[in-house]
Structure 1
């Protein structure tokens, strides 16, 4: 079966290469103007990225950059494969780690000669060579509304163990009417709602890296070999169960990204299970209350760190006749005043490039920068998983657990079986 799939992908890639060349010929026939296509998955930066691409196009004679966005839990990998099969492979596309690289490596240009490379430690590297431009530094913990916690008498600095969270959630639940909240936590886990990644990717990252050295990948490497650290996973599963129990059940079981983020922004929940990428949403929704991050502390041994990572990388299509124009667009994003302003001021992201002096204004991004400066944070390793594992394997298991929250043993058994499948994916 793997050989058949590999052969199919080779045919798809060859078809796309031919079509890309045909499009390149058409660009030249139309008078030399070049249209660079970009396919990306961060819906929260769509408007900012569209605006930057339009501005770049205006300032770069003969080049137009067009961005297509598909995210919010949609099947980006499946859409990429469909584009390849249709001969519509983009000039710039996104991978989220080794799983994506392994699928598209024959399509990914080497970027060792790019000027921005020396300005970052977060390029996607394989065997010492660069193949991916880091989109940003991202991260998360459990975001909190400081005003609500203060009214409830909860100090976020004390939230470093699972039992501390349980006590805080019980307090918030008991004071819901007084605080004007619907539930302590805004978290979504619905596959149908496109929110599989909240639990099946970002929350599961706590099991992979929580409480360990930033670069310690031993737990996920064990899983990639088909094995589970059962005592550690049981502690983690109890934390998931706690979050599910005290989450707004409508959002947990049926909610969308907008439902989840909107609930927190409106002061209807005290905690939000999302990363600093929601800063632009908070600005759009007029949030004025103070926010911060507490750790995803799932053990009784205190955990104080947040989760920091490069969430994804832009790759250049090595088969495209527009590869040099695509590289120039990325270089401008990293090295020019307009590009850097887009990353920080418009998209609200933490730049992955050391020379950028602009600081983000979003409270959650500022919290991550402070945590990064302090140290003691945890790595995020879901990019090491096989392509599709989060969406197709883990996401549905979390969704099922959200619907049957009392059955902790079934959740653990289902995840153990899923780990056993990983070596064969």
Structure 2
């Protein structure tokens, strides 16, 4: 797959020298207060840019603080004010953005999450095909007509993130968690050792549809769409778009979801927020948390000291030794804005300068999508993720190709009902089949 080849090449470059490289919370707006260096050129602000202000609508609340710090430093260097507005968690990003458009308050740059968002916003997106960073990445968002219309700022990966110290204590090798039965045996053993391990549950999951639909109906369901298939094989997402499911595959997937739910902390599962879910695991109260490397920036606030890694969402009986890794979302430039060139310059600074790489890789804890980046990640899960992509053990994020609002409005409530025990495995499969059938 093109994406995997790019990531592998990126990592080989990193290994030979300096290494390269969702979301909880509410909403935060301003330019930040931390100082730093945002560009390699000019030591003082360009006075000709005074009065220019651009606004970035960011969908990853967990990178809000370092992104604002970079924006503030960029303002000091260039004279261009960069206002970062971050939103995340269970917030309806699409609805907020539509409200801005209706009110004539569109941000200069805005986040899109994939094909569904593109189909809504394609008429409002500036063509970025001639930007210098385009030739430096293979994961820019490209329209069906071949135009690059959105900026990739990260590569992320997820599965079941684990506390390795607890697995070691239980005598469980995370490298062997590559099929349904291996997880079943591991969960049963861990559950029997709860007192010895000091945990309240095996997994930290959250499936409340109002806030956590994205975690289960996007991220977890993404494993049904891509786990175990050849890279580039879009069979299951293509079936979904036609209103069809593979019932046998969906049934096996449902059994795995039930396993995760059965061994989860029930309060967190049914009514917990992203912060509740993360805190439970970060405090050593569960062995697994259903999140990815985007939690890296939050870990210092919990004083996490244990070793960790990411294991596959291996829901099938046969081995599927890979995690889901891809560009999580993209930033588009609003083509009706007054300062389009200033937006392009800002994005180019993130892509092409050492300071931009430091912001994305080290401060935000992500893997850079740009081939020329040589900045090495220090965050534990980003470092672990790189091992997966270096080994070529990744699957793409086909869930991002689902229709706009489908995960939140159609699939999220089904996962919540399953978590509450309102339906069994067959009932879950029936509901999923009926929901997906509406896409015919």
Q: Aligned-pair distance for 1:331?
A: 0.5
Q: Is the CA contact 1:216–1:379 (under 8 Å) kept in the aligned structure 2?
A: no
Structure 1, unpaired ranges of 5+: 1-29
Of 51, 56, 60, the match for 1:33: 51
**1:130 maps to which residue?**
148
The 2-side partners of 1:203 and 1:152 are apart by: 26
Q: Is the CA contact 2:354–2:375 (under 8 Å) kept in the aligned structure 1?
A: no
**2:377 maps to which residue?**
360
Q: Is the CA contact 2:366–2:377 (under 8 Å) kept in the aligned structure 1?
A: yes
Of 195, 200, 212, the match for 1:177: 195
Residue pairs, 1:327-406, within 5 angstroms: 327-404=344-421
TM-aligned CA distance change 1:374 to 1:326, over 3 Å: same
Count of residue correspondences: 392
Q: Structure 1 runs of 4+ off > 2 angstroms?
A: none
Residue pairs, 1:181-196, within 5 angstroms: 181-192=199-210, 194-196=211-213
SS of structure 2 residue aligned to 1:195: helix
Alignment of 1:155 with 2:173, yes or no, is yes
| TM-score, scaled to structure 2 | 0.87
The 1-side partners of 2:291 and 2:133 are apart by: 29
Q: CA RMSD in A?
A: 1.3
Of 63, 68, 72, the match for 1:50: 68
SS of structure 1 residue aligned to 2:429: helix
Q: Is the CA contact 1:50–1:67 (under 8 Å) kept in the aligned structure 2?
A: yes
Alignment of 1:209 with 2:226, yes or no, is yes
**2:311 maps to which residue?**
294
| TM-score, scaled to structure 1 | 0.90
The 2-side partners of 1:65 and 1:76 are apart by: 20
Q: Aligned-pair distance for 1:32?
A: 5.6
Q: Aligned-pair distance for 1:214?
A: 2.2
Q: Is the CA contact 1:241–1:405 (under 8 Å) kept in the aligned structure 2?
A: no
The 2-side partners of 1:32 and 1:272 are apart by: 46
The 2-side partners of 1:108 and 1:284 are apart by: 37
TM-aligned CA distance change 1:157 to 1:70, over 3 Å: same
Q: Aligned-pair distance for 1:378?
A: 1.2
Structure 2, unpaired ranges of 5+: 1-47
Q: Is the CA contact 1:236–1:298 (under 8 Å) kept in the aligned structure 2?
A: yes
